[in-house]
Structure 1
């Protein structure tokens, strides 16, 4: 039996069961749940479980702090949820009229569910670049060697093929075939399309657009693909759906994405970068400080996930992010320093000051 097998039924017992779950998601450390009746959330019992580090409750949205193994817990949680009883409840909840707040929550949930699964790729690719720089600078690895070529390719592949990873993740999050989202991302970065001049589709001109390292164009494409997918599901007979549906979906989605949605996504990404650049230029270090100060609040509410598209847009445009990530790094260091200070203070109150603390007090 796995470490978390007993945790899943324990969670269900203390959140009101499957029927009380509207949606589930996770970030780097937290299992995030939206409940139909928040009064059934037994915070005291959940906090006392040794596998749960803490809880956060905000209206009918709750968070269970699991730690770095949250993806394992989420996977087990989803397996338990993927039963007809749960699916029917979700469908019933989705039929209810949504207010503005619920739409905002849905948008943040979609962004979080799309970008968080891709983060390990970007972390690995970015750290490989750091390792490569160390090898070249301090260990004399030649830039013409096979070692350099392989590690440099690992780094480049993490970012160059970003539309493929995002396409898969977005499609899975929105509830359609993830492979079709991946397929769309692969089409966009194909050398015959990516940044190519003079393309047309049935005499309709296709704007010159560079898709590698971008995120917004493929997200727009996948959102449109979901609409086509649901429409095709209704009209195509079941007997031929397996063969005909993927053909119809991709033949409609690709031209619309290349002609309209992809270029539009690049324009939106450019505006986002320009807006952040303007804010940084006008406010300088203060803009980083403001975002850093807001980061703990953003993390607690889950809205920090909405900043990932901004990071990727800036990296695609400028190859670096001088705003969001530095601000979050400063916030994390500050929180860590605060936690360390509290820890030392508690130990001092319990055991008396350590020698260096006594020296500081004197």
Structure 2
């Protein structure tokens, strides 16, 4: 049996805080499937957060940022990591919390290189220092898993990681996105959120790279009658550098053409998305683009970007647009309203596309990486 030190910091933080982010969900999905393999035992470890009792007896470590600075400065291992090293054959940092842990071999999952390639899209506090430490830590890994060919190229370019050390293992769609929704549930959701018969939906934290500003401008390019009949519903909390987007939302909310729902609980998100005319997701940069696959599974047409990782994920199942071309986004929105044959084709293609990305395949490919590193 192989014993794997398995990073659960983001997962535990999310479970404690009442909501998982993409990294936390990834960790949960592959963890549950790898644990079912009788040849593997997972030993959880986490930084500055309690390990959930159901995960088993693990190793709790101190503050990640202090440990990283210490190891970069001295070349020594993280404080306390040796108690984990002694218990395992390999360490998998699933969530960007990559420790220095010699001599244990290490696999690190790195979702993207966006902090390095586009620092202007992120919060700016200590960004240069954070990026320097992140790059050094990323290069401690013996093997890197990433989620798209685009991210593989970007990680090599910006973090200096050899392409030969990077394996692409795509993400997948949670089974809940395939759940059928009956008419009673739809009626309840429409009443609760005051949803119209038709609407466009935008999903994601309000931040520069999600490009919600262009989505609003494209919606404004439609006729007033179309905008009133099919408003834009925005789901996502206010993030950073989003003052202009918030101003635009306030302006358009007065006429009822834009509504901001902020947070929608997971249990309600599926029926809200399924009711939408189309998901509008012209992101400027993604390591993968999971909202696209989730909409596919929900049988909702998608308008998304023809850049970064999104063409890999969408294939031929979405309307692809230049994310900085507002007119192109607006034209795609109009087609989703007027071309019923295209809409039906996209629903069919999207569902088939989503089914080709499974968490079981993701977990099995991850196990193959473990075996490769342990040879």
Instruction: Settle same-fold status: TM greater than 0.5.
Output: no
Structure (1/2) with the larger strand percentage: 2
Structure showing greater relative contact order (alpha-carbon pairs closer than 8 Å, 6 or more residues apart): 2
Structure (1/2) with the larger helix percentage: 1
How high is the TM-score relative to the length of structure 1?
0.28
